Structure 1
């Protein structure tokens, strides 16, 4: 049985909501619920909060636990919910992971520990301790550029042997050789194991055996992401290729200064979620106007819903003004 109780390997893409703030940079729970529901209604396969896009490192433990509870409540069983419980210490991760289980999450996402750069044996012990402390699913998260360590195919294989609830990995290494080997090794040991990329590179990912991705662009351009996923799922690579190129262009537009850039894009799309906490700097007005023009060039303003209704219409008047 695969991730989230699926009959086989779970495939799809994860929505990763931001953390909305009010003018005082306090949690805006009402907007958070709207944001979560927008992503669910846009067609995401699962949800994960709070990834780094959601400023997980800027939140208190109390904020993380309360919004974990609120995420599960807002989704109301429509899609599986995972909670990102990464911390520097294993005991901290276990505490947050057990809380996620208590509030009804289907799984947790756990990164390699911050700062410590554990040796492989320590990494294995860390993930094993977390997996053994909970009954819900465990996904590891490999981000070698930031953490300087990785969840490679060998470590994933050892964890599969030790943990029946270890059913997925998010790989943010963006190395095609390592990703392909990770898919090959894990599928041979556990055919229902799911390997996801950190960003929406669905075409190369799924062509070599990946299960999908986590999403950074989907909250801005959900229709583009859904079209890409559908094309790749059908094996229609000719249709998927230009969509993949558009997603890549959008990501390179949103990546600098994220999540402030993504929050600014959300405001442009009529879905404001407030500013960001330091040390993340807000976009200057000129940068925000440049972003608006670039979004228009990418077709986002012409094609994506304006406002919080996922079935709503675009705002061509704003698109025309942005191009003027």
Structure 2
């Protein structure tokens, strides 16, 4: 049930000046990503400002991406919540509109025990037929999926992988030791893709792919095809740009990067707003140095 191998983009959600979703720009981004060689698209993840979308918008964005992708690449809907019933609702709706899989973040704020965490994921998983990726990003949620938690959660039949964004490579190695080839391990950090792949990882769910999809996909596939030196050089070349993209909280800089490429307007939903001038200047410089501006 592996959803994809390679590079998926955690797609931004473009918006008009009044804050409404810009569906035309969204469709254009989906087409550009597919034409650029991306292997899958995540709609309404962290980078897609999902936490500021109302449910109707959330599902409409997933549906728009599904329709534009038209089966050419898998579409994964972000449907995590700190309210289990809400997560079930979003997951059912994402399945209804045609998503190929779900990305379900840990239930932030509540700090569930391991047993209740398992019950939370089991309830969501049993409500749908789609394959599910766990999403662990402790810095944003206050909850870490350690190796013991993953060992329990991977027993749920349609939980088929994890987007691991702890930044702790030692933890990644420990998880990799406990899973088999049927459980996909995706890097959630753009600067750690090759370390993930080196311990049996399947790919990356990427932020930088919003502005460099071709390069990111080529890097992952170079590694998977045994072109290790090429992949290494590509990973190292991206590092200054990655640092610029995370100088402020994601997705503030990356959405600015997409706007610098004239692919969306520089509009966010509060409490997010435009980047500081120094961040924007640095980002533009690194995009030019990387050759995408």
TM over 0.5: yes
Name 1:14's counterpart in structure 2: 8
Runs of 4+ in 1 over 4 A off after TM superposition: 284-287
Number of residues of Structure 1 aligned to a counterpart in Structure 2 = 291
Alignment CA distance shift 1:298-1:122 (3 Å) = same
2:273 to 268, 278, 281: 281
Alpha-carbon distance in structure 2 between the residues aligned to 1:269 and 1:185: 42
Q: What's the CA shift for 1:281?
A: 2.1
TM-score by length of structure 1 reads 0.85
1:43 to 24, 37, 40: 37
Deviations 1:121-169 (A, max 9, x none): 11111111111111111111111122222222222222232x2211111
Name 1:228's counterpart in structure 2: 219
Q: Secondary structure at the match of 1:14?
A: strand
Q: Secondary structure at the match of 1:30?
A: helix
Q: Is the 8 A contact 1:153 1:186 kept in 2?
A: no
Q: Secondary structure at the match of 1:218?
A: helix
Name 2:177's counterpart in structure 1: 184
1:252 to 236, 239, 243: 243
Q: What's the CA shift for 1:300?
A: 2.8
Q: What's the CA shift for 1:118?
A: 0.8
Alpha-carbon distance in structure 1 between the residues aligned to 2:209 and 2:14: 16
TM-score by length of structure 2 reads 0.94
Pairing 1:146–2:140 present: yes
Alignment CA distance shift 1:32-1:116 (3 Å) = same
Name 2:2's counterpart in structure 1: 3
Q: What's the CA shift for 1:86?
A: 1.3
- Name the Cα RMSD after superposition: 1.6
Unaligned 5+ segments in structure 1 are: 5-9, 302-324
Q: What's the CA shift for 1:239?
A: 1.7
Pairing 1:134–2:128 present: yes
Alpha-carbon distance in structure 2 between the residues aligned to 1:145 and 1:286: 24
Alpha-carbon distance in structure 2 between the residues aligned to 1:164 and 1:70: 28
Q: Secondary structure at the match of 1:150?
A: coil
1:81-92 to 2 correspondence within 5 Å? 81-92=75-86
Alpha-carbon distance in structure 1 between the residues aligned to 2:76 and 2:216: 20
Quick check: which has more Rg, 1 or 2? 1
Unaligned 5+ segments in structure 2 are: none
Q: Is the 8 A contact 1:260 1:275 kept in 2?
A: no
